[in-house]
């Protein structure tokens, strides 16, 4: 039996305010919960409809539905402590991402997932970027949030202090396919509607452009997760040459 009060406390973790206050976040389903545990996250609470999860409180399908943020709850739901990162700064010789005001949880989740694929260990987010620990983002990462470090920070201050090259895709940039790309650096991606903010743009040292291949009129922009993927792919491809 789960008390109404416990259900309420967990469901409130949908909101950033409550996640910050309680210092924890929710993950669901065998893949995401399993990946988090495998990578060293230790659940403070875990609920499951099956016996296979250590220390899990056994719940009915109906109880899980009441706890879950998913349309189709998946066997297990766990509450984890929010990871605490000490003041992290980009390490020399690493490639990382910096997100400047990404708003859509789906985009953020997709970017975390593709960063994982391309072996990018850290994503720096401006304070106004969507929260990576919302249930929507956590699920959209498909478990990659267990492996990629997401750090909220003052991007402007971080970019000012780094000695790494700072890349950004901008309309006046040079063709990414033909530009020299370093093995390390910070790739900045901007907000869905407005792109990279003025303040951050001034700190971009290497301006790139993903060229369009349509003659004449064209799509005016690429979705930010798509642009991130193409950029990361091109950086990593060069390292295999």
Among 3, 163, 198, 218, binds its own copies (CB under 8 A): 218
79 within 8 A of 32, measured Cβ to Cβ: no
- The answer to whether residue 128 forms part of the interface with its own copies (CB under 8 A) is no
**What is the rounded CA–CA span in Å between residue 196 and residue 209?**
13
**What is the rounded CA–CA span in Å between residue 134 and residue 82?**
11
- The answer to whether residue 164 forms part of the interface with its own copies (CB under 8 A) is no
**Rounded to 10 degrees, what is the CA torsion of 67, 16, 158, 160?**
140
- The answer to whether residue 127 forms part of the interface with its own copies (CB under 8 A) is no
> For residues 107-126, which are near its own copies according to CB under 8 A?
110, 113-114, 116-119
> Which residue, among 178, 159, 39, has the nearest Cα to 96 in the 3D structure?
159
- The answer to whether residue 144 forms part of the interface with its own copies (CB under 8 A) is yes
When the beta carbons of 10 and 148 are compared against its own copies, the nearer one is 148
Binding segment (CB under 8 A) for its own copies, from list 58-66, 123-131, 171-179, 193-201: 171-179
Which residues sit opposite 111 in a β-bridge? none
Among 34, 106, 165, 173, binds its own copies (CB under 8 A): 106
**What is the rounded CA–CA span in Å between residue 196 and residue 216?**
25
3-state secondary structure of 79: strand
Q: Which residues bind its own copies (CB under 8 A)?
A: 38, 106, 110, 113-114, 116-119, 142-144, 147, 175, 177-178, 210-215, 217-223, 225-226, 229-230, 233-234, 236-237, 239-240
């Amino acid at each position: 039996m789960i008390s109404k009060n416990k259900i309420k406390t967990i469901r409130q973790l949908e909101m950033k305010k409550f996640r910050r206050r309680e210092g924890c976040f929710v993950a669901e389903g065998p893949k995401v919960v399993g990946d988090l545990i495998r990578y060293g996250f230790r659940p403070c609470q875990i609920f499951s409809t099956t016996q296979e999860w250590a220390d899990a409180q056994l719940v009915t399908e109906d109880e899980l539905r009441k706890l879950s943020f998913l349309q189709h709850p998946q066997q297990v739901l766990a509450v984890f402590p929010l990871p605490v990162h000490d003041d992290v700064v980009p390490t020399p010789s690493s490639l990382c991402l910096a997100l400047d005001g990404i708003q859509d949880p789906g985009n953020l989740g997709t970017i975390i997932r593709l960063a994982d694929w391309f072996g990018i260990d850290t994503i720096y987010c401006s304070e106004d970027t969507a929260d990576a620990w919302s249930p929507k983002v956590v699920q959209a990462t498909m478990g990659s949030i267990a492996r990629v470090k997401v750090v909220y920070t003052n991007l402007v201050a971080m970019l000012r202090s780094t000695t790494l090259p700072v890349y950004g895709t901008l309309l006046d940039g040079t063709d990414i396919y033909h530009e020299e790309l370093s093995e390390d650096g910070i790739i900045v991606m901007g907000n869905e509607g407005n792109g990279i903010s003025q303040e951050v743009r001034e700190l971009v040292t290497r301006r790139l452009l993903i060229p369009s291949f349509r003659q004449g009129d064209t799509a005016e922009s690429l979705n930010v997760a798509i642009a991130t993927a193409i950029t990361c792919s091109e950086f990593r491809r060069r390292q295999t040459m």
